[in-house]
Structure 1
Amino acid sequence: MTAFSLEPAQLTWCDELRALAAERLRPLAEKGEQGRVNRALVAELGTLGLLPRLFTSGALDLCLMRESLAHACTEAETALALQGLGAHPVHAHGTESQRARWLPRVSDGTAVAAFALSEPDAGSDAAALSLRAEPEARDAPDAGWDAAGRGGKTGPPSPDAGSRTAAQAGPRYGGRPADGPGGARDAGGSVAARFGPDAGRFGPEAGRFGAGQAGGPEGAAPGAAAAAVRHGAPAAGRRAGGGASAGSAGRTGGGRAAAGRESGPGAARAPLAAAPDGTSAWRLTGEKCWISNAPEADFYTVFARTTPGAGSRGVTAFLVPADRPGLTGTPLDMLSPHPIGALAFDAVPVTVDDVLGEPDRGFRVAMDTLNLFRPSVGAFAVGMAQAALDATLAHTAARDAFGGKLRDLQAVSHQVAEMALRTEAARLMVYAAAAAYDAGAADVPKRAAMAKLLATETAQYVVDKAVQLHGARALRRGHLLEHLYREVRAPRIYEGASEVQRGIVAKELYRTHPTPPTHRTHRTQDATTEEAG
């Protein structure tokens, strides 16, 4: 990979993004409720033109966005990333109808997306997922569901089903034309062009898709579909964030299974599968777990098994709106309180119109998405590491100890130097992986795995050292490092644990390594000779 550095315009953009996160996004994040989707924050990301860039930018720009936002507001970074993770399969593999309905709403922040791959018994081994997609008989009674605005009946596919353009047949992130969903075109150029007036940063309409382009139900309140998927008993006094309507204990949507249904790690586990309903419809049955934005998302990219026993070749990706009957969910309380939950599928109806990509080719959809987002998970980690390093520099330069400043102690200054060294190395590997993705390089899986592995492990190291050098003050609730200490742990697990990344790197190294000729040894009375075999 050719050595490179960021252009001055890119560096300026990163500075603007950090200011944007601190001045406009962090106040909204602080008003949000922990463990719930912050719809006001998501909407602001759309207003500021950041969400549309998920579909018009390359992988390097995605990394720059995530790193810059994470430095000042991890909640904003996570909200942006989850929109991209859940909606990228629709952007890259969806039909024109699917794209027209959902991408404008994702881009302006009125619809929340989610990526539903993990299961209680299929985490790192994603190919082992068992959510069943079972065929539904042609003469099955009408389920009474509105099939994404197609009249509410299971039947033959709509005319546009499967009619994908060549550009949608598995393109790379940077390979799509710079015209976002609905034909909106990225302004590009200067920071002012991206964010509009007001010091060149904060124009309210920069990059947005126009109102009325959303293909969802007319006049639907933001979060209405997501409210239908929630059930269980939220904590007392919990309020709805942003435009979401307030949840209540035991609430379910129309057509949902009984509110008392349990899901999550402690419940009885049913493998998730898609059973075919004739030649064009299936019923999804089983569970998903550890799904970010669940159970409050408005739609889910769901991966289900359509061909039993076929491993990764028997998985299909479906776009499942949150208001489908039989789909319920439960929030999970995690170490770092993000919106995350478990989903239960009780014969949820889907048709060929809901397929993303091709039947039995969904694993490719998942891996294409992860190859893009793994380097940017590394960028998120680099942003947190840089924030911890900056805090440590300020603290050790000002803190009096042993008749001088902490920075005067070699034991301290050498640790700070090591933190900076590792952070910069991780940053460069992330940028290199993103640049390789944008260039369509053949070694993207290896580079993406290396970038995520090194950056997430580095961030854990740097944040831990920062806490140690700050002492007890860093462990007080509300301190920046206390927040980062909880945030930094999960990226080493999600979107492929560190152990999985090492396995990918090793597999790719051996796959591309020239195989030496084998040798057979023949022993005779006189001598031992070797022949190439």
Structure 2
Amino acid sequence: MKALRARVAAFGLTAAPQIEALPELESARRALQLLADEGLVEWTVPERFGGADSNGHAPDETVSVRALCAIREELAYASGMLDIMFVMQGLGSYAVALGGKDELRERTLPDVAKGRLIAAFALTEPGAGSSLADVATRAEAKPDGWRLTGVKTFISNAELADFFTVLARTSGAPGEKDGLTMFFVPANRRGIEVRPFEVIAPHPIGDVQFHDVHVAEGELLGEAGRGLELALATLARFRTSVAAAAVGIARRALDESVRHLAQRRQFGRPLAAFQGLRFDVAEMDVRLRAAQLLVAEAARAVDNGEPATREVARAKLFATESAAWICDRAVQHFGGLGVKRGETVERLYREVRALRIYEGTSEIQKLILAKEIFGDAKS
């Protein structure tokens, strides 16, 4: 992993300047192209289906979480856009690897690994965020397959995607965990409408509306009624990597702070000479190292197939919350420059915020941990 990490670090620092001044969609496409040319996108697809060889870090039918974490930490250090375009290839396609028919896997996943197809993961709805049981998008069985109707929101790659993996209800009512099914839906199907919107940091995202969209029987992923399992399995595989991205952002913020405090002089001496600021940096360093260790522990456990609910929740909670605090302190260290558009710490401050929300909010991670601690995880 050391060689992979070093390679990604060097790539990130050369790739980031090539995309940072581009319009959002152009930046996203260019980022994916650069990632694919470097061979990094292959790590988001299992080796068995055209992805990278994990060198024994994970079975060939899955992806290595340790590799995902190493890559995301270094990409996030350099650029939030590089990070998001990397991981979305995995999030959007992993349900195909888990539950797709052989023919669908063969014609889809190798192209995902090469960046020739862009994937999107369509779970969230206006009324279904942390609680996926509240999904209301409905898929109705027809003689020629299914008809999909509903609205998804906060869908990364909404405008760019070549296909969506969609969680929809095939039976029951919103609020019921049973009756949810995953589907593969090509983005060029008649009846799909995309409405992009902006968030606080560059990120291709939007609403996706499905108006009586035809889905073939061969595009069913897994078994009908067991889609929630596929969705949760995908999130479980990739959630630790969110914590790794947070570590990358926090490490960059700390590096920027140290550099600035050493160079900036006030009252006749460097800011780094002031005890209060030195205490800040010391605590930033400790929180960063603790987050790195929690991420490593969780990634190792998931790769080894061990029960890792606590480990993943700890890593996601602590790393994202600590990264937000570290970025806030970095902005404070820069003073007025910290909120000036174009400064690295200002960008990091915006990029880090969403990590405490997506793929399980901090509050959800606390609920998970409490259930594990009190032994009522199955209640």
**TM-score, length-normalised on structure 2?**
0.92
Amino acid at match of 1:119: E
- Contact persistence 1:396–1:407 (CA under 8 A): yes
The answer to whether 1:496 aligns with 2:360 is yes
Amino acid at match of 1:30: E
**CA offsets 1:64-108 (integer angstroms, 9 cap, x no match):** 000011111221111101111101111222221111111121111
Q: Deviations over 1:432-475 (max 9, x none)?
A: 11100011112x22221221111110110000000001111121
Query: Who wins on radius of gyration, i.e. which is larger?
Result: 1
Partners of 2:266 and 2:73 lie apart in 1 by 33
For residues 116 and 409 of structure 1, what CA distance do their matches in structure 2 show? 49
Q: Return the alpha-carbon distance in structure 2 between the equivalents of residues 389 and 102 of structure 1.
A: 40
Cα displacement (A) at 1:402: 2.2
* Higher RCO (C-alpha 8 Å, min separation 6): 1
* Structure-2 change in CA distance of 1:360 and 1:36 (3 Å): farther
Contact 1:120–1:289 (Cα < 8 Å) also in 2: yes
Structure 2 counterparts to residues 23-102 of structure 1, below 5 A: 23=14, 25-34=15-24, 38-55=28-45, 56=47, 57=54, 58-102=64-108
C-alpha displacement of 1:352: 2.4
Secondary structure at 2:164's aligned position in 1? Answer: strand
| SS across alignment from 1:488 | helix
Distance in 2, matches of 1:318 and 1:475, equals 43
- Give the alignment of 1:205-224 within 5 angstroms: none
Residue in structure 2 matching 1:15, options 6, 17, 23: 6
CA distance in 1, matches of 2:279, 2:25: 38
- Is structure 2 residue 298 aligned with structure 1 residue 433? yes
Contact 1:44 1:109 in 2 (8 A): no
Alignment partner, residue 337 of structure 2:
473
Q: Distance in 2 between matches of 1:324 and 1:509?
A: 46
Q: Which residue of 2 aligns with 1:424?
A: 289
- Alignment check: 8 A CA contact 1:474 1:482 kept: yes
State the Cα distance separating 1:28 from its structure 2 match. Answer: 3.0
- Partner of 1:60: helix, strand, or coil? helix
Structure 2 partner of 1:484: 348
2:13 corresponds to which letter in structure 1? A
Task: Determine which of 93, 116, 131 is the counterpart of 1:125.
Answer: 131
**1:114-513 equivalence runs, <5 A:** 114-136=120-142, 138=143, 154=144, 281-309=145-173, 311-442=176-307, 444-511=308-375
Q: Distance in 2 between matches of 1:35 and 1:50?
A: 20
* Contact 2:152–2:208 (8 Å) recurs in 1: yes
Instruction: Please give the alpha-carbon distance, in whole angstroms, between the structure 1 residues aligned to 2:258 and 2:27.
Output: 33
Equivalent in the alignment of 1:527: none
2:111 paired residue number: 105
Alpha-carbon RMSD across the aligned residues, in angstroms, is 1.8
Q: CA deviation at 1:29?
A: 1.8
How far apart in 1 are the matches of 2:224 and 2:375? 28
| Percentage of pairs with the same residue | 42
Shift of 1:351: 2.8
Q: Secondary structure at the match of 1:133?
A: strand
Q: Distance in 2 between matches of 1:37 and 1:447?
A: 34
In structure 2, what is the equivalent of residue 182 of structure 1?
Answer: none
Report the Cα distance in structure 2 between the residues aligned to 1:68 and 1:329, rounded to whole angstroms: 31
SS of 2:214's partner is strand
Q: Is the 8 A contact 1:35 1:337 kept in 2?
A: no
Note the C-alpha offset of 1:36: 5.7
> 1:413: how far off?
0.2
Amino acid in the other structure paired with 2:19: A
Letter in 1 for 2:340: R
Query: In 2, are the aligned partners of 1:326 and 1:345 still within 8 Å (CA)?
Result: yes
Which has a greater percent of helix? Answer: 2
Deviations 1:118-138 (A, max 9, x none): 0011111111111011222x3
Task: Measure how far apart 1:306 and its partner are.
Answer: 0.8
Q: Is the 8 A contact 1:407 1:413 kept in 2?
A: yes
Distance 2:44 2:19 in 1: 20
Residue in 2 that maps onto 1:147: none
Cα distance in 1 for partners of 2:106, 2:21 equals 32
User: CA separation in 1, counterparts of 2:314 and 2:373?
Assistant: 12
Identify unmatched segments of 5+ residues in structure 2.
Answer: 48-53, 55-63
Moved more, 290-299 or 36-45: 36-45
* TM-score under structure 1 length normalisation: 0.66
